[in-house]
Structure 1
Amino acid sequence: MKKILIFFLLLFLVYLIGINTVPSYIESDRNPVKNPSPYPVSNEAYDLYNRLDFIADLHCDALLWGRDLTKRGNRGHVDFPRMREVNVALEMFTIVSKSPAGQNMEKNSSDAFDNITPLTIAKGESPFNWFSLINRTLSQAQALEKFAAKEEGNMIVIKTKEDLLRLIEMRKKNPKVIGGMIGIEGAHALEGKLENIDAVYNAGIRMIGPTHFFDNELGGSAHGESGEGLSAFGKEVIMKMNELGIFIDLAHSSPAIIDDVLALSSNPVIVSHTGLKSVLNSQRNLSDEQIQRIARKKGIIGIAFFEKAVGNPELPNIIASIKHIRDLVGIEYVALGSDYDGSVAVPFDITGLPLIVEGLLKEGFTESEIRAVMGENVKRFLLKNLK
């Protein structure tokens, strides 16, 4: 009996050590920053950046890794202190609940081993989360609420138009007040149950992507095996999202799902993090026709920051992507959609956002256009469409 107790004690100690070391090692490995801060920019770009009233980003997976976002991290891309350092008003924190082993842009099986299961265990999460996608999702949403509570009123989880108006007003007196919204990356998190939409809505989630890197009950992924459009269940989900006011995020959706959603949805759509085929011909990127249809739907497109979305070198291609949307459909349809902390290498962390302003200035963008891209478009879209 004594030997058994010693064995389990040692096992428990190994587990505790793993909780403190494994998640941070994995995050550091999966989310490198190619160029560390600080990021020098011209005086002109710096002055313009400091005049911006509302800076927003449509996609960040920081909740996945178990970091305390109220503290400035020495790894990853986003946390609350770094948001404040560069005056970011709003971040869309997206929830990843499943990721296939061998994840790639071309083809992934829904039956592949799930990378998030061992990470969930290593983070020391409740056993109820170990094998439940909906529980993992709700847990990450609750984590953002807990971080906000620690901020004692200086961080607002945006769920309604009134919340956003409150954030805007509070920042006039205190620019250190920040906001966060919650999205889901892949509706496999619903586990095929329509009633789980109510559960995630009640948890504060206001954006859901039908698919992520693999096909699910709603239909086909841009990186899946079937290429299918919305299933009957998928159509039910879209209609329910419209009813509740949950935004549909078309990033990672198959072209057939994009077609189906644009035909079915009565509400404008978001593409939270993407590239453009005109800049990088990838199957995860948008064609000009898709961009035009999204614009006709009064949607908004977030440009991602990583190489497999925009190509290499990233910064000039980010600027080229923004310029292409402006020239094709208008400046009001484009925004930032970094995919920070999304298992991607990025050229700069969130404190490097002034580099975007510098790049836009060099391409001849006006101050009003830069304001639109850096956050005013997101603010306008949300004020118009949040319930």
Structure 2
Amino acid sequence: MRKLLIALLLLLLSTLVFLTLPHILDRTLNSVASPPPYPAGDGARQLHDRLFVADLHDDALLWQRDPLQRHSYGHSDLPRQLEGRVALQVFSTVTKTPRGLNYERNGADSDNITLLAMAQRWPRATWSSLLQRALYQASKLESAAANSAGRLVLIRTRGDLERFVEAWQQDPQRVAALLATEGLHPLEERLENLDRLYDAGFRIAGLTHFFDNEVGGSAHGLDKGGLTPLGRQVITRLEEKAMLIDLAHASRTLIDDVLAMARRPLLVSHTGVEGTCPGTRNLSDRHLKAIAASGGIVGIGYWDTAVCATSVEAIVRAILYSAELIGVEHVALGSDFNGTVHTPFDVSGLAQLTEGLLAAGFNQSEVAAIMGGNVQRLLLANLPPD
């Protein structure tokens, strides 16, 4: 009897640890250099409070947090987004990451997200299907929007965004939400699954994440190759469906292959640039120029591997370098909030970035473009029509 009680106690303890681990990871891995509040000068604050702020990458859907409720940890939720004056947020779906994840070389034969999905009590179908993980995270965002009393608005078409902007101009206490994939391994090698992602609301497609997949090579993969035969079909189908292609995490060869095929603007949702921070996945000057030439935009990240420090100054330095090289109209924000990164502030502190851009010599219209105007323009021109 004693042995049975001990076994039951150990089982209970292990279950509690398993279920609380996601919360511990979230608190530990999605951290900030300093807690709120985040002060900014009066001039920067007044300008910031007039801006349409857009961010191209947030991984909040991965975590067991209600996006409508304020939290004291993690990088974002709707109350803090409204405080930070965010008007548009791209939410990405993470479906697989390799064990021992690193920036240089990862295989595709292991996965961290399976245990996380189980521990967070995601539907059983998500335990073995990457497609179901993407669709489940999409449903989480849809449910949040439905329960937000109009404060979180899903965007699928140009008309949706046009109507949102008009409403936002009357009452900015609302956030537009777009869905994106963090890699196309959820296709599970089937081109027709792209239609399922589209029908679920996905409008931006990252091609790869931290490992090579069936579409192409990752900057962090083993082979780091270009587009596969399936990948070439995917690029064609994405453009036919007016889904934007995201080159974040793409290998250099993959970027070249997509640039040679694409006929629509390309974006990089969250990245650094080699000109201020050399690194495996940071963009070269050549690729920055080519993406700008496509009519696309580059979202500058906030974490140290992207900008070589955890500071507003480092983010601004990367933005300034990029703007001088390719033009202000091609630069945007790509925080990577909630993507297991350490950032200078949470989303409520974005006025500090406005202040930093002003201090770097950008005028008010340039700041407005970088902070969100460029993203709004790109989406209004390239989302699918109603």
TM bucket (normalised to shorter chain) is over 0.9
- Between the aligned partners of 1:266 and 1:10, the Cα distance in structure 2 is 61
- Aligned partner of 1:96: which letter? V
- Kindly indicate whether the alpha-carbon contact (under 8 Å) linking 1:19 and 1:124 is maintained by their aligned counterparts in 2: no
Aligned match of 2:98: 100
Matched, 1:167 2:164: yes
Displacement of 1:145 after TM fit?
0.1
- Name the SS of the counterpart of 2:289 in structure 1: helix
| Structure 2: gaps of 5 or more residues | none
TM-score by length of 2: 0.95
Counterparts of residues 15-54 of structure 1 (less than 5 Å): 17=16, 21-52=20-51, 54=52
- Aligned partner of 1:124: which letter? R
Aligned match of 1:152: 149
TM-score by length of 1: 0.95
Q: 1:349 aligns with which of 346, 360, 365?
A: 346
RMSD over aligned Cα, in angstroms? Answer: 2.0
Counterparts of residues 1-387 of structure 1 (less than 5 Å): 17=16, 21-52=20-51, 54-111=52-109, 113-387=110-384
User: May I ask how many residue pairs the two structures share in their alignment?
Assistant: 384
- Kindly indicate whether the alpha-carbon contact (under 8 Å) linking 1:120 and 1:130 is maintained by their aligned counterparts in 2: yes
- Name the SS of the counterpart of 1:279 in structure 2: coil
- Name the SS of the counterpart of 2:342 in structure 1: coil
Percent sequence identity over aligned pairs: 45
- Between the aligned partners of 1:138 and 1:206, the Cα distance in structure 2 is 13
- Kindly indicate whether the alpha-carbon contact (under 8 Å) linking 2:33 and 2:310 is maintained by their aligned counterparts in 1: no
> C-alpha offsets along residues 64-109 of structure 1, whole Å, 9 cap, x if unaligned?
0121001001111011111111221010000000011111111111
- Name the SS of the counterpart of 1:71 in structure 2: coil
- Between the aligned partners of 1:284 and 1:149, the Cα distance in structure 2 is 36
- Between the aligned partners of 1:360 and 1:156, the Cα distance in structure 2 is 28
> Runs of at least 4 residues of structure 1 off by over 3 A?
5-20
- Between the aligned partners of 2:283 and 2:18, the Cα distance in structure 1 is 39
- Aligned partner of 2:268: which letter? V
- Aligned partner of 2:259: which letter? L
Distance 1:180 1:6, change over 3 A: farther
- Between the aligned partners of 2:134 and 2:300, the Cα distance in structure 1 is 25
- Aligned partner of 1:99: which letter? T
- Name the SS of the counterpart of 1:107 in structure 2: coil
- Between the aligned partners of 2:160 and 2:19, the Cα distance in structure 1 is 35
- Kindly indicate whether the alpha-carbon contact (under 8 Å) linking 1:19 and 1:123 is maintained by their aligned counterparts in 2: no
Displacement of 1:242 after TM fit?
0.5
- Aligned partner of 2:24: which letter? Y
> C-alpha offsets along residues 92-138 of structure 1, whole Å, 9 cap, x if unaligned?
00000001111111111111x31111100000111111111000110
- Name the SS of the counterpart of 2:270 in structure 1: strand
- Name the SS of the counterpart of 1:171 in structure 2: helix
- Name the SS of the counterpart of 1:51 in structure 2: coil
Displacement of 1:47 after TM fit?
1.3
